Structure 1
Amino acid sequence: MFLFNTFTHVYCLAWGCLSVVTICGNLLVIMFVFYFQQLHTPTNYLIVSLAVADLLVGIIVFPLSMAFSLSSCLYHEGLFCKVRISFDITLSTASILNLCCISIDRYYAICQPLTYTTKISYRVIVIMILMSWGVSVVISVSIIIAGLNNETCEESCFIDVLIENTIGPILSFYLPVIIMLCIYLKIFLVAQRQARSIWNTTCQRATGGATVSKMERKATKTLATVLGVFLLCWTPFFLCVTFLPFINNSVSLPVMETLNWLTLSNSMLNPFIYAFFYSWFRSAFKMIISGKIFQGDFTDSKLS
């Protein structure tokens, strides 16, 4: 009993800290974008939409998941479990789709810079955000309904299993991942081509070669971080969900919960990858930490 109570306390403390970091990180991102005039750009509004989804994951999904992991709810699929699952699916899918929209925005910014302002306007950004959230709600409702229908069938209903384990994951994960992989590969190839162009312009001087090498390393590191962390957090869970019907749902509940926690941790990491990675966000963070932002109006400050 003592060991169980100790484990429970450690478990709650660990995931409570994770929830707090997720909430604080995403709150800072939202605050930075709305406070500093320089950050009022289409790209950053997409980052705000992503931060809102991840913030709600920290506020709603983390506490519910932690409570249900320590209760019998997981074994009886009650009403509150359905609420937890619906929030989980909606917010996680919204987070993924927002990441996909950010990759599309970066594609036009890097690969088609001359037409970027005309193709990625504020109206287009609003449409992308609304579609991300709308599709997330539709997918969540469809999967929940399919799960409820399954409970009324003597055997698993084929169409509901298809929605819950195939169509849902395809729309929520596999399709956005394929889109992001293709886009980031294109961005990487364009960045390499631009780097080689700079190298040729500098007549292959040593400094030019060093610049090219640095640019290529930076592009490689950025894309590897973005895609690597995302795939590391999400792939195991969706692979497990997809293949569950083929293994007679034999995956244990603790394994599924562990995989689910891994996906949720991506909401904590997103602010660091997609926001604090940029220098102007780091500058804004320093202004907050130093207290400078409370000493006057710095909304028009130029962030380096």
Structure 2
Amino acid sequence: MIRMTSSQMLQMTTEEMDANGQIITTPASSASLNISITPDMLFNEGHKLSIIVYSILMVVSAIGNITVLTILLRRRMRTTSRLDFMLTHLAIADLMVTFIIMPLEIGWAFTVQWIAGDFMCRFMMFFRTFGLYLSSFVLVCISLDRYYAVIKPLNMKEHRGKIMIAFAWFTSALCSAPQAYIFHEEKHPDVKNYTQCVTFNVLPEGGDIIYNAACMLMMYAAPLVIITFSYGSIYYEIFQKSRIKNSDRFRRSSLNVLSRAKRRTLRMTITIVICFVVCWTPYYTMVVWFFLDKDEANSSNIMLQKALYLFAYTNSCMNPIVYGVFNLKRNRTDRNTVKKITITFKNCQNSIKSQIELCGVH
């Protein structure tokens, strides 16, 4: 059996990068069919490195997201929180990436060619983007939830969060559906027993550009615009309210405590969004470069393309780390608050006792 890279279709193809981080293969000229198999078409050090990195990411992401999911589910048994509900679904989305996409990439790098059949090709390509779409859309839901909580708290009903999450799941499935149609198993016409899960012979000329642009719009650009608007509006509202003076000291103190809790939540959710932007922007910059100058982008180092795609997947590992850091700070703050209340209560008791003794009351 000839081992070849999962992103190539031997001599019959040329390479194009798709919006999901891999190389779309398209038919090449008939003159290229006589080119011999290159070393990159066989299992090599690049595949070995991919297997190692994906394996590490999978272990870290699995431990982190399972831990976060367990904490959130236990907390939901005691209290109900829209944010915890949405963070639960974000952890589920990251676990889908962890246990579906990462093992797929590991197995594909190991076998190089596609050996799972046409049905699994379509099935796995559907879920390959489903988890990524869901993660992006849940981040949008979180940003809108924070927007309503700060800007329009009276309009934020409890069921609205559930509706938004349900819509995120439905839209993710809808956006991923074309994957099951476009990707299919293809046999190589000149190399015996070689098959690959590819996209060519389906979309018309130029259709791949339109499809990849649509993927980038739905998975990255549109969510980023909505998230930026939501948090921009929140910080503008906070800035406006911070200028309002309160004459009542007790009321001002209460408002400060409330705003501190909201600021802590905002910092956590914004940090999660920043991780999303940092992890995915380099890859989508490469995609835009491909749209603008296909020949120049294709001539770039294939390892750089794979590295950017791998870096994007680290986002699934970052979310539980961010949640863990902020949760530890929250617990430490809560313990300090309880300690201060206890000390204050004891001081009050001692003060009252002293007053009673001074008055000669027994």
TM-score by length of 1: 0.72
Which residue number corresponds to residue 23 of structure 1?
62
- 2:229 is the alignment partner of 1:229: no
Amino acid at match of 2:64: G
Q: Kindly provide the CA deviation profile for residues 245-279 of structure 1, in whole angstroms up to 9, marking residues without a partner as x.
A: 44146155433322221221111111233465245
- 2:89 is the alignment partner of 1:49: yes
Q: Which has the higher strand share?
A: 2
The verdict on how the C-alpha distance between 1:70 and 1:175 changes in structure 2, with shifts beyond 3 A counting, is same
1:90 is aligned, of 130, 133, 136, to 130
Which residue number corresponds to residue 172 of structure 2?
136
CA contact (8 A) 2:122 2:181 kept: no
Which residue number corresponds to residue 111 of structure 1?
151
Which residue number corresponds to residue 313 of structure 2?
264
Gaps of at least 5 residues in structure 1 are 287-304
State which structure, 1 or 2, has the greater radius of gyration over its C-alpha atoms. Answer: 2
Q: Kindly provide the CA deviation profile for residues 56-115 of structure 1, in whole angstroms up to 9, marking residues without a partner as x.
A: 2111211222332344238x99756655443221101100100110000011112223x1
19-28 or 30-39, larger mean C-alpha shift: 30-39
The verdict on how the C-alpha distance between 1:221 and 1:121 changes in structure 2, with shifts beyond 3 A counting, is closer
Q: Kindly provide the CA deviation profile for residues 115-138 of structure 1, in whole angstroms up to 9, marking residues without a partner as x.
A: 15xx3323x222212211111122
Which residue number corresponds to residue 294 of structure 1?
none
CA distance in 2 between partners of 1:220 and 1:53 (Å): 21
Q: How does 1:136-155 map to 2 (within 5 A)?
A: 136-146=172-182, 151-152=200-201
Report percent identity of matched pairs.
23
Q: Kindly provide the CA deviation profile for residues 184-219 of structure 1, in whole angstroms up to 9, marking residues without a partner as x.
A: 11111222233333xx3379xxxx9xx89x979979
CA distance in 2 between partners of 1:162 and 1:44 (Å): 37
Amino acid at match of 2:314: S
18-27 or 98-107, larger mean C-alpha shift: 18-27
Q: In the comparison of the two structures, how many residue pairs are matched?
A: 267
Which residue number corresponds to residue 210 of structure 2?
162
CA-CA distance at 1:156 after TM superposition: 5.1
Higher RCO (C-alpha under 8 Å, 6+ residues apart): 1
Q: Which has the higher helix share?
A: 1
DSSP 3-state at the match of 1:277: helix
2:105 is aligned, of 56, 61, 65, to 65
Which residue number corresponds to residue 239 of structure 1?
285
82-91 or 229-238, larger mean C-alpha shift: 82-91
CA-CA distance at 1:15 after TM superposition: 3.3
DSSP 3-state at the match of 1:201: coil
The verdict on how the C-alpha distance between 1:151 and 1:240 changes in structure 2, with shifts beyond 3 A counting, is same
The verdict on how the C-alpha distance between 1:61 and 1:100 changes in structure 2, with shifts beyond 3 A counting, is same
Q: How does 1:169-184 map to 2 (within 5 A)?
A: 169-184=216-231
2:326 is aligned, of 277, 283, 286, to 277
CA contact (8 A) 1:184 1:223 kept: no
TM-score by length of 2: 0.61
